[in-house]
Amino acid sequence: MNTESFDMKAVGPRIRMMMPLLTPLEAKVVDTVFAMRDFSDETSLKQIAEDAGVSEAMVVKITKKLGFSGFRDFRSAVSQYNRQPTAEMHKELSVDDTSLEIVQKVFRTSIHALEETLAILDMAAFDRAADLIHKAATRDFYGVGGSAQIARDVAHKFLRIGVRASVFDDSHLMLMSASLLTDGDIAIGFSHSGNTTAVIEAIQLARRNGARTIAITNYYSSALAQSADVVLCSTAQGSPLMGENAAARIAQLNILDAIFVAVAQRDYQAAERNLERTMSAVTSKRKDRHP
């Protein structure tokens, strides 16, 4: 990993995005490193190996698997990342927290996720996604559970400017939708883990039929990301109580809000005209109900 060419805030997120490629034991070693509050440029390879209960050779192997040239490169990058202001934002919730501490920690976790997602966001992928959505004849969104709610939020925003999209949250309906897509259409898969089977299968089918595909996920190395033409990654650091999903959802919604603006910008006059029409229709309906 060439840490000289990108924002140091991206070191932690890039490591987390590669976690699905690690075995449980390898992931435990990485977790051990990030749990060390005193981790620095002075932390020894021997100490990490002992704390994680593995050999020194395994620690070196893991650092290379994560894209670093070796342990020293890994240690330097993580040390610099830990000194970033955003790295200090993330603090675990405790049963003894006051209401003020709870609010501050939850907000800071979200800010942390936004800062780091911005640091890793692939702008070329962002622009390509906006172009594909803008030009598509049919836009079908796939998601399950909380990811389906994100898809619905995005579809609602797009409808306001006359960009129609359909949301599917049932595995059978996803496959039916994907089977009908073809060249000129687009399918977007939403999955925090990137391992939701129903979404992956639908995206793969849509791609085989010639449609372009976009993945919205937290892990660039996930099965969903590997199945899509374009990948937009969020990142969020998990906690025992909140998990990753809450903060990641906020990061994903912000990515998609930016995509919405970029799509509208590609034909601003049409977006403005359609927004006026849709908002006028809603306003008129409200007046009818409350004269």
Identify the pLDDT of residue 35: 81
pLDDT tier, 89 (very low <50, low <70, confident <90, very high otherwise): very low
Whether residue 234 is predicted with pLDDT greater than 80 in this model: the reply is yes
Percent of the chain with pLDDT over 90: 54
How does residue 12 score in pLDDT terms, banded at 50, 70 and 90? Answer: confident
**Most confidently modeled range among 25-29, 75-79, 203-207:** 203-207
Average pLDDT over residues 40-56: 90
Closest CA to 235 of 118, 150, 138: 118
pLDDT, tens digit, 9 for 90 and up, residues 276-287: 999 888 777 665
**Does residue 29 register a pLDDT over 70?**
yes
Percent pLDDT > 70 in the chain is 88
Q: In the predicted model, what is the mean pLDDT of residues 11-26? A: 83
**Quick one: CA torsion of 256, 13, 70, 49, rounded to 10 degrees?**
-150
Compute and round to an integer the Cα radius of gyration of the chain. Answer: 21
Average pLDDT of the residues in 97-116: 84
CA dist., res. 13 & res. 114, Å (int): 11
What are the residues facing 212 on neighbouring strands?
186
Q: What is the mean pLDDT of the chain?
A: 87
pLDDT at 256 over 90: yes
Q: What is the pLDDT of residue 285?
A: 61
Contacts of 208 (CB under 8 A, 6+ apart): none
Tens-digit pLDDT profile for residues 57-71: 999 999 999 889 899
Q: Are 140 and 166 within 8 A, CB to CB?
A: yes
